Amino acid sequence: MAGSSFGKSFRVTTFGESHGAALGAIVDGVPAGISLSEEDIQKYLDRRRPGTSTVTTSRNESDKCRIYSGVFGGLTTGTPVMVMIENTSQRSQDYDELAITYRPGHADFGYDSKYGFRDYRGGGRSSGRETIGRVIAGAIAIKALDMLGIKVQAFTQSIGNVYAQSLNLDECSENAVYMPDKDAAVRAIELIKEAKSDKDSLGGIIGCIATGVMPGLGEPVFDKLDARLSAAIMSIGAIKGVEFGAGFHVSTMTGSQNNDPFYIDEDDEGLHIRKRTNMSGGILGGISDGSPIIINAAVKPTPSIAKEQDTVNAINEEVKLEIKGRHDPVVVPRAVVVVESMVAITLFDMVLENMKSRMDNVLKIYKK
């Protein structure tokens, strides 16, 4: 398989290039009976849309989605759901000079090495617009997870050296950088403006929390929940690192610090096994442990910068490059919904996979 599909039971296949006719996704394995409309998907697509604030590119992509299959009478039918956005705002002439030039920090050279040539308009398949298909599938997964009481929320942890100091998730949608800390958001926006006027760009960290996750998700060995989540998140273009719970800090902890003690909690529904801390980030031995799943992902600074750079072209010449066109000085805020989508897709896929783990479950479905 050539890599455009993700998931085993809830299987997403995306298509489309930045300046091609359209971008979208087929989601196969959507269980029948989930209420789904174009609005359900559009609201997530709008979150990744540029042109909505001063901190993103001024490209105005309307990005209206349409459901082409798999929904009947407002419900998913169990057959593949295809959702697509037709491309409208295409100023490909901006990109013509990039036909043979390899942009530093981009996949251009890799694509040419791999395929012999490439669709160079706006990054083609390696464009950030490729994430449209992910958000489409993510919106469907989020609807399904919601029926199970599982919530996924990603947010901007940091931009450059400005870190959120509080974790007020409701605040995220109130500021342009999707930060859960109002004051940090103000400082981050200031920093972005500076970078922009320097013809430069910034990176950051995206956090993600999933609550309501039942224990037992994840498959032993290679399809561990964290292994699948890592693959999901690292497959987003700009991500260079991913960690769970205490993450890289575990390297300097002792076992007695890092082990989360279990205890018995009691509420109206009875006794529950819980953990006093959550160094594990909700995953132990690759299986969810019933605590919130905690993820961090490092986002690199946008490689498309207006500043002059040294590079080469496809005919082995060294050249200077100033990237024109409308580019985000930081992609972190727009990537938040993409991380959220990939986490949701992975979680719902593992929910479906896990159904088959016990013969008890099989009997529960089939025995009258």
User: C-beta of 177: minimal distance to a second copy in Å?
Assistant: 14
Residue 212, annotated as binding a ligand: no
Residue (of 72, 2, 66, 58) closest to 30 by Cα position? 72
What is the C-alpha separation between 254 and 244, in angstroms, rounded?
A: 17
- The answer to whether 304 is a known ligand-binding residue is yes
Q: Which is nearer to a second copy, 6 or 44 (CB)?
A: 6
User: Is residue 129 part of an annotated ligand binding site?
Assistant: no
Phi, psi of 186 (to 5 degrees): -60, -45
Question: Is the CB of 53 or the CB of 220 nearer to a second copy?
Answer: 220
With respect to a second copy, which residue has the nearer C-beta, 170 or 268? 268
Phi-psi region for residue 307, left (φ > 0), alpha (ψ -120 to 50) or beta?
Answer: beta
Nearer to a second copy, 3 or 170 (CB): 3
- Comparison of 171 and 260: residue with beta carbon closer to a second copy: 260
125 among the known binding-site residues? yes
The sign of the CA dihedral 364, 6, 288, 207 is negative
User: Does the annotation place 48 within a ligand binding site?
Assistant: yes
CB 210 → a second copy: shortest distance, Å?
15
Residue whose CB is less far from a second copy, 37 or 263: 263
Minimum distance from residue 327 beta carbon to a second copy (Å): 9
Q: Phi and psi for 189 in degrees, rounded to 5? A: -65, -40
Q: How far is the CB of 135 from a second copy (least distance, A)?
A: 13
Assigned token pair, 42: 């559009």
**Would you say 285 is a known binding-site residue?**
yes
- Torsion angle, CA of 139/7/125/307, rounded to 10 degrees? 70
Q: What are phi and psi of 22, to 5 degrees?
A: -165, 165
Place of tokens 């296949």: 13
- Cα 194 to Cα 80: distance, rounded to the nearest angstrom: 46
* 215 assigned ligand-binding residue: no
Tell me the closest approach of the beta carbon of residue 76 to a second copy, in angstroms: 8
Q: Is 58 helix (H, G, I), strand (E, B) or coil?
A: coil
| Cβ neighbours of 301 (radius 10 Å) | 20
Which of 347, 337, 343 minimizes the C-alpha distance to 128? 337
CB of 96 to a second copy, least distance (A): 13
Does 329 appear as a known binding residue? no
Annotated binding site for NADP(+): 48
Annotated binding site: 48, 125-127, 285, 300-304, 326
Q: Which residues are annotated as a binding site for FMN?
A: 125-127, 285, 300-304, 326
